[in-house]
Amino acid sequence: MCTRLNQAKMVTFGLNYDVKPGEEARFERAMAEVLDALGTLRGHRDTRLYRDVHRPGSYLVYSEWDRREDFRAFTKSSGFRAAVALGEDLLQGPPRHRVFVHEDAMAAHRTDERSG
């Protein structure tokens, strides 16, 4: 059994971005670098970049962390500030973020298995 599922809390961040027309490839390249760097950070579990097939300039970054504090530490890093600065040139407006805290990841996993 995966030990990560046994941890008491997990935090998922949904980061929504609307990219300026014509800047999609540049945004994707920049995000690929950010995603690679995330793999080295404490508390980071997984991050993926998704593009809306109906709105090609609309993206979602889905990011899982052990704790909210781990994500906050990342947002205070120089790498994060550099990514934000780049994003200002590429985005149509400010990003929209949502936070989901999973109090009992194992219970949520068991519920998902039963509903399938």
pLDDT tens digits along 20-76: 999 999 999 988 888 888 888 899 999 999 999 999 899 999 999 998 889 888 888
Q: What is the DSSP string of 69-96?
A: HHHHHHHTSHHHHHHHHHHHHHBSS--E
Q: Does domain 8-115 have CATH number 3.30.70.100?
A: yes
Tokens in use for 112? Answer: 């998902």
CA gap 77, 83 in Å, rounded: 10
Q: How confident is the model over 2-30, as pLDDT tens digits?
A: 444 444 478 888 889 999 999 999 999 98
Pick from 112, 88, 93, 86: which is nearest to 30 by CA?
86
| CA dist 17 → 6, 68, 98, 108 (Å) | 32, 21, 12, 28
pTM above 0.85, yes or no: no
Q: What is the pLDDT of residue 87?
A: 76
pLDDT class for 104, splitting at 50, 70, 90? low
Strands 58-65 and 10-18: antiparallel
